[in-house]
Structure 1
């Protein structure tokens, strides 16, 4: 049985038997097939990274310079001018830990939403699983988050941080939540963006709120203090997976730079941080399954829509 993707394009006056199909259909599709074809994934990630810095004088050094300048701007505005950090110890690490997570999420979400439209030439010509493009976007975003992580590790070490297993596990859990959540949303919105380009604008609008909806330029304890008479607000706040991931990464790095880590964790982190993090990862994995089903349902008509 032929699918819409296999139906030939009909051109007036041309013999139908000489026309090629619109796109060759891949024998298998889905996220599992993407990782079976890891060589294609590696090629796509490598070419995307190289194209970003092609023709630039500083090349990959921009990966360090841009996040460092972004961090300086946030730090100057919110710490120096506004004094948002207050009496928090090592507010700079608190801030950069949030920046790393927010950057990883927004790059994955925004780039993943546009990934199918941006790669229309490859999708039409090659029989590859179309999930390849959102996955590659997530990996490219992770790759470009590495310089920010290095900056955070170096700055934390200067301020007295030393690796501890619980903290590193917390940070890994936070990054896992963002990777799964970002990929899930990229799958959902990338195929929707093929049908209606408005979804690309929707993602840009949504990600503008991310910076202010996570405990980055302010501590989580401030949310509890401002809404102490209605404590359920803090619980609703923590339903945001990105906020949970930020807190986990702060547990991994910022807490260890404090002179009294236990007191800082008790004051600025929720007591059930670990259980919430594990539950959030499970929810994000369930969302990834639903996103794959949604993508599989709509991706057959992607070539003709492009």
Structure 2
């Protein structure tokens, strides 16, 4: 008698990680829809919060830096420079923070059924990207009103910058999200990282101010930071075309963007590795 065939069956609780997320796109869309509905449940403004929060953030920084510290006089089109950097860092902070909390927040679902757990940080990144799009549209409209005339390479830089942030925040969200199940201090570390990320990238100030105080070798490390590169790619695509093109951008920006994407992919693979090692304890620790 031949052994029974088990072709088509898989061992429960085991999968292919992020590949399974791609194979279950319908389930991923349901999670994204659920997160969006929960976020704005009972809210009067609803989706308008996607505009209100960044607008207030922009006004605070613009008054403090643009008016009081006179950056608006020292830099051409400083409001566009400021907002194009803020929307990038907001995308990273929201995707990273939500991804870190995603496993714990969906603990009840994880304990009931098995599904690829990577779906939760991935869906958090998608929700953050959905909230990022209205901010990007507003920025593009303002840029068009002041004479935005980008070149194809600058448009490519915008796409590359978004891809860097999405891949990086997903990898970090998986890494810290897995650790957060057993060590809830991870959320506090993420808040500190988000605070540092805002000031460690040229969002509120030009990168040339860093060049003046850092030695060249340390400046290169600063520029290789994926967030710094993503922010500067957005400056190159949105702010630079609205200036008289005398503004100073980091050299070889697209090349640095490719390197930053490689670093982001490495972080994603590391996050997937740690996630797979720890996910067996999720139901127990939750």
TM-score (normalised: structure 2): 0.93
Report Cα offsets for 1:187-206 as digits up to 9, x if no partner. Answer: 11111111111111111111
Structure 2 counterpart of 1:52, from 39, 53, 57: 39
How far apart, in 2, do the equivalents of 1:141 and 1:25 lie? 31
Give 2:190's aligned residue.
203
Structure 1 unaligned regions, length at least 5 = 1-23
What is the aligned counterpart of 2:219 among 211, 234, 250? 234
The SS at the match of 2:74 is: coil
Deviation of 1:27 (Å): 5.2
Cα shift at 1:146: 0.9
Please give the secondary structure, in 2, of the residue aligned with 1:162.
Answer: coil
Q: Cα distance, 1:87 vs. partner? A: 2.1
Q: Secondary structure of the residue that 1:93 maps to in structure 2?
A: helix
Question: Of 206, 221, 228, which aligns to 1:243?
Answer: 228
Q: Does 1:286 align with 2:234?
A: no
Higher helix share: 2
Equivalent residue in structure 1 for 2:254, among 266, 274, 277? 274
Structure 1 residue 101 corresponds to structure 2 residue 88? yes
- Report Cα offsets for 1:92-149 as digits up to 9, x if no partner: 1110111011101111111111110000011111211000000001101111111110
Contact residue 115 and residue 134 of structure 1 kept, 8 A = yes
Question: How far did residue 231 of structure 1 move?
Answer: 2.0
In the alignment, is the contact (CA less than 8 A) between 2:224 and 2:259 conserved in 1? no
Cα distance in 1 for residues equivalent to 2:170 and 2:187: 15
Tell whether the 8 Å contact from 1:85 to 1:217 is kept in structure 2 after alignment.
Answer: no
Aligned counterparts of 1:166 and 1:50: Cα–Cα separation in 2: 37
Of 155, 158, 167, the match for 1:180:
167
Q: Which residue of 2 aligns with 1:66?
A: 53
The alignment of Structure 1 onto Structure 2 pairs a total of residues equal to: 276
Task: Tell me, yes or no, if the aligned pair for 1:184 and 1:287 is still in contact at 8 Å.
Answer: yes
* Structure 2: runs of 5 or more not aligned: 1-10
- Cα distance in 2 for partners of 1:71, 1:100 equals 10
Structure 2 counterpart of 1:12: none
In structure 1, what is the equivalent of residue 243 of structure 2?
A: 258
2: CA distance, partners of 1:219 / 1:169:
22
Q: Identify the residue that residue 75 of structure 2 maps to in structure 1.
A: 88
Aligned-partner SS, 2:71: coil
Residue 166 of structure 1, aligned match among 144, 150, 153? 153
Quote how far apart the aligned CAs of 1:290 are: 2.1
Contact 1:174 1:277 in 2 (8 A): yes
Deviations 1:149-190 (A, max 9, x none): 012111111111034311110011111111111011111111
Greater C-alpha Rg: 1
Q: Does 2:209 align with 1:222?
A: yes
| Distance in 1 of aligned mates of 2:151 and 2:83 | 19
Distance 2:177 2:114 in 1: 18
Provide the rounded CA distance (Å) in 1 between the counterparts of 2:137 and 2:278. Answer: 39
Matched residues in 2 for 1:61 and 1:91: separation?
A: 25
Distance 1:163 1:271 in 2: 18
How well do the aligned residues superpose, as a CA RMSD in angstroms? 1.4
